[in-house]
Amino acid sequence: MARAFTPKVVTANALVEGDAVYLAADGTWVRHLCQAELITDEVRADARLALAQAQPTVVVGPYLADAVAGADGPEPAHFREDFRRKGPSNLFHGKQAERAAPQR
Amino acid sequence: MYQYNDFDTAFVKNRVAQFRAQVERRIAGTLTEDEFRPLRTMNGLYLQLHAYMLRVAIPYGSLDPAKLRQLAYIAERWDKGYGHFTTRTNIQFHWPRLSDVPDMLEALSEVGMHAIQTSGNTVRNVTSDHFAGAAEGEIEDPRPIAELIRQWSTDHPEFQFLPRKFKIAVIASEADRAVMKSHDIGLRIVEQDGARGFQVWIGGGMGRTPMVARLLRDFLPRADLLPYLEAVLATYNRLGRRDNKFKARVKITVHENGLDEIRRQVEAEFPRRRAVFSGVDQDWLARIEAAFITPSLSPRDTAAYHAARDADPVFRSWCDTNVAPHRRADHGIVTISLKAHGQTPGDMSAEQMRLVADLAERYGHDDIRVSHAQNLVLPHVALTDLPALHAALKPAGLATGNIGLASDLIACPGMDYCALATARSIPVATGIAKRLQELKIEHDVGHLQIKISGCINACGHHHVGHIGILGLDRGGVETYQITLGGDASESTEIGTRTGPGFGYDEIVPAIERLIFAYLDLREAPKETFLETYRRVGMTPFKSALYDEAAAYAAE
Ligand code: HEM
Ligand code: SF4
């Protein structure tokens, strides 16, 4: 019996900056989870992951992370991805601080 | 403080140049990540949740003002203006860009610092007693021996690819302030029949299989140290399991082969090693001892100190918690708390670093230490200078008087930074500290060590906390398991699990219930939490944790 596919995003760390990045529908890397492509079938997920893995000078360690559809794009399914998308909870650093001045 | 020689300097500069080329090749794509990872970890560079992390070695936790100022400069120039001191007395920068790391390493090398062997399956930073050279009851300053081991193990060709990381601690007194028995090898300098030598302890460790080190040799003559350590490492290199990362630490090698068999193999290897050394290491040691500048302390009047104690209860209270007896009665050992209530344990801003560097110059004979409890120490301060020191620390948020109290807790970075984490640890630590401050009970509670790790790797020492907290992921929810009765001192013990874990919102109230249960159970205020636990056992604490929670829920 085929199991229902849990929607996913492709995510990784940027090679130089080291921060969390996500693969967008147009194939570019974006800084915020809400801009990522939410992938809803397994064949596409594998293809997008392969595309990410072929870019070792841009990103490190790409993987598929579970996500859910939200009003403003993908939302994390697990608290680890929630921290990756926001930044640390003890200091206002990382993405949560950058969001005031979003990059691309 | 030990002064590096030309060889050390050239070696470190060389490594920086090598690493710069490696980073360039990685960015250009001629090195893959698989090829680059071991190279970067050899230089202390990790990739974390939000950024890279650079771990800088602070050998046996010893700093001087120039080094601390350079760390402040690096924090401001390439990071976010702060650094994080760790339980292995290193410092971590949590936000560097890959392309900036060679410059950071270059800046470190200017003050004789580096990040070599702060990662990887090598001999890691050798740690020691943060009161070394100042403590009462110490046979000698253990740091020259720690430095000897550092020099010998740095870039040692035979031991760059051990089965797993290898951690060594050296102490020289009965009191263990370095968690010596939780190290792969713990050395205690002892005296027997008028001769100096070492007790050699092996196989301690935390992680998923916590173990207390066992005595491998009760007296190793002083001159035999390096050949003996080589024999131990060679034996481990041969027997240690490379098939399973979780069974690769020497504690498992000892457990699986038996202490007697390990000892037999070490003793068989030892004469071969000793023949090769032929005493050169003793020349090194003599040079190191000569290069270790210990401050000469002139006698100081203490009247002003006593007057300030009488006049200012805040100062008095700070002295009572944060100043330990010095071997000289007119001096004290000052611990500067990096645990202001609500602050991240071990974090220090660049301005604070500069202030402490200045104060160490003015009052502390240029000597600064990092403690495994994530605080800084000024080991030689005249009592008469304490009022001025305290007054200078206060406006910088560095005068918290809580050393050894419940809010002086250890926490690893956890899921706020660490890629391996299963839950957060920092906000649990700050949550407990803030609650203690609201309740204003920690001086009444007295000595209590709470230690928190964000996963089973146990970087936050939770196994040896009087109260240990381990953050786990249970079905996608942060869950915290409590252990009681751990002990990080010379009577090292691993704590015992209380039972089911608590959710993120429940863990601070649960710790509060434990503390109130202790206040009810203790026979007298001087009976510590650990002593009470040892006397009454787990049951009443369990009941406070679980029955009271159930009672509240039913209300
Ligand atoms: C970059 C983040 C870190 C990573 C990836 C990391 C990784 C690990 C791992 C995998 C272990 C278990 C080793 C084993 O049992 O084989 C461990 C243990 C340990 N780490 Fe970390 N760690 C990190 C940060 C820290 C920090 C910040 C500290 C100090 C606060 C620290 C101090 C320790 C200590 C004391 C142990 C336990 C002692 C032992 O068994 O070796 N680590 N770490
Ligand atoms: S204990 Fe786990 S979460 Fe904490 S620093 Fe170590 S590896 Fe990271």
Distance B322 CA to ligand 2 centre (A): 28
| CA–CA gap between residue B512 and residue B437 (Å, rounded) | 12
List the single best residue of B22, B49, B432, B504 to mutate versus A (max A Cβ within 10 A): B49
Mean pLDDT score, B70-77: 98
CATH topology of domain B303-396: Sulfite Reductase Hemoprotein; domain 2 (3.90.480)
Which pLDDT score, from 0 to 100, does residue B124 have? 86
Share of chain B above pLDDT 90, in %: 83
Answer whether B51 sits within 8 Å of A19, measured CB to CB. yes
Q: Is the CB of B429 under 6 A from ligand 1?
A: no
Ligand nearest to the CA of B186: 1
If one compares B31 and B553, the residue with the highest pLDDT of the two is B31
For B419, which residue in chain A has the nearest alpha carbon? A80
Identical fold between B135-290 and B303-396: no
CATH for the stretch B6-109: 3.90.480.20
The residue ranges of every structural domain in chain A are 8-99
The residue ranges of every structural domain in chain B are 6-109, 135-290, 303-396, 411-554
Q: What is the mean pLDDT of chain B?
A: 93
Share of chain B above pLDDT 70, in %: 97
* Kind plus residue range of the DSSP H or E element containing A65: strand A59-70
A16 secondary structure, DSSP code:
T
Q: What is the pLDDT of residues B466-491, one digit of tens each?
A: 999 999 999 999 999 999 999 999 99
| CA–CA gap between residue B89 and residue B100 (Å, rounded) | 24
Residue A104 pLDDT grade (very low, low, confident, very high; cuts 50, 70, 90): very low
Q: What is the pLDDT of residues B285-305, one digit of tens each?
A: 999 998 887 888 999 999 999
**Burial class of residue B99, CB neighbours in 10 A (0-12, 13-18, 19+):** middle
Ligand nearest to the CA of B370: 1
SS3 A74: strand
Q: Torsion angle of alpha carbons B53, B59, B65, B70, nearest 10°?
A: -30
Which pLDDT score, from 0 to 100, does residue B554 have? 52
Which pLDDT score, from 0 to 100, does residue B6 have? 64
Q: What is the pLDDT of residues B343-400, one digit of tens each?
A: 999 999 999 999 999 999 999 999 999 999 999 999 999 999 999 999 999 999 999 9
Count CB atoms within 10 A of the CB of residue B504: 17
Query: Which chain A positions have a beta carbon within 8 Å of B50's beta carbon?
Result: 18-20, 84, 87-88, 93-95
Which pLDDT score, from 0 to 100, does residue A103 have? 47
Q: What is the pLDDT of residues A10-51, one digit of tens each?
A: 999 999 999 999 999 999 999 999 999 999 999 999 999 999
Residue written as tokens 């209270």? B317
Query: Which chain B positions have a beta carbon within 8 Å of A60's beta carbon?
Result: 33, 47
Q: What is the mean pLDDT of chain A?
A: 92
Q: Looking at the predicted structure, is the pLDDT value of residue B81 above 70?
A: yes
Q: Looking at the predicted structure, is the pLDDT value of residue B511 above 90?
A: yes
Which pLDDT score, from 0 to 100, does residue A47 have? 97
Which pLDDT score, from 0 to 100, does residue A80 have? 96
Mean pLDDT score, A68-72: 94
CATH topology of domain B135-290: Sulfite Reductase Hemoprotein; domain 1 (3.30.413)
B→A interface, C-beta within 8 Å = 26-29, 32-33, 47-52, 80, 95-99, 344, 415-417, 421, 424, 426-427, 430, 473, 476-478
Mean pLDDT score, B140-153: 92
Q: Looking at the predicted structure, is the pLDDT value of residue A102 above 70?
A: no
Give me the amino acid identity at B65: P
A11 secondary structure, DSSP code:
E
Query: Hey, whose CA ends up nearest to atom 15 of ligand 1?
Result: B207
- Chain center to CA of B459: 9
- Chain center to CA of B240: 25
Residue B157 pLDDT grade (very low, low, confident, very high; cuts 50, 70, 90): confident
CATH architecture of B411-554: 2-Layer Sandwich (3.30)
| CA–CA gap between residue B347 and residue B84 (Å, rounded) | 4
Q: Looking at the predicted structure, is the pLDDT value of residue B465 above 90?
A: yes
Residue A100 pLDDT grade (very low, low, confident, very high; cuts 50, 70, 90): low
Q: Which of B457, B472, B473 to mutate to test ligand 2, by most ligand atoms within 8 A of the CB atom?
A: B457
Q: Residue B274 — φ and ψ, nearest 5°?
A: -65, -35
Q: Looking at the predicted structure, is the pLDDT value of residue B168 above 50?
A: yes
